[in-house]
Amino acid sequence: MGNDMKRFAKAMTAVTASAFLVLVVLPGIYSTARGYTVWFFKISSPIITVDGKPTKGWLHKTHDGRVVFFTRNDTDRPETYDLVLTDNGNGSVLSCDTWTAPRLPVFPVGDVNPPCFFKGSAGEGLTRGPNSVAFTSIDGKRLEARW
């Protein structure tokens, strides 16, 4: 009876792993390859300032660096901005409203329901360097991050 249970457990493990592969991994690979899903990677140890004063926060960016989630944590509740960077230097600062980028090292965002897309402008004067971004928020604060 013990060997039958071991074989059954191995079979169930194989079925579960196969189902996970078919239902989660393969669709994730497909949607990433087709551009329906974009992955954001946490930037390690950024230096974030608000009006020149160091503050707490975190950053995530896409692999190509064209989109950055800039989260400041110097108020009662963390606030995330969606920075969309362009080659010609005219980027957009979008509000993420009540959505906050997670502190995870990596997370996906799908094109069906992006968290900040329809929330409107949250700032202006977006500039970027090789390892930095800066902008002025709607409330007039100058936010900058270097990594």
Q: Is 72:55 a contact under the CB 8 Å cutoff? A: yes
Residue 50: the pLDDT is 97
DSSP 97: T
Question: 119 falls in which pLDDT band (50, 70, 90)?
Answer: confident
**What number of other Cβ atoms are within 10 A of residue 97's Cβ?**
14
Which H or E run contains 67?
strand 67-72
| Residue extents of the structural domains in the chain | 1-34, 38-146
pLDDT digits (tens, 9 = 90+) for 66-93: 999 999 998 889 999 999 998 876 789 9
Which residue did the predictor score with more confidence, 96 or 25?
A: 96
* Predicted model pTM: 0.78
Mean pLDDT (whole number) for 20-29 = 57
Tokens representing 44? 């390690």
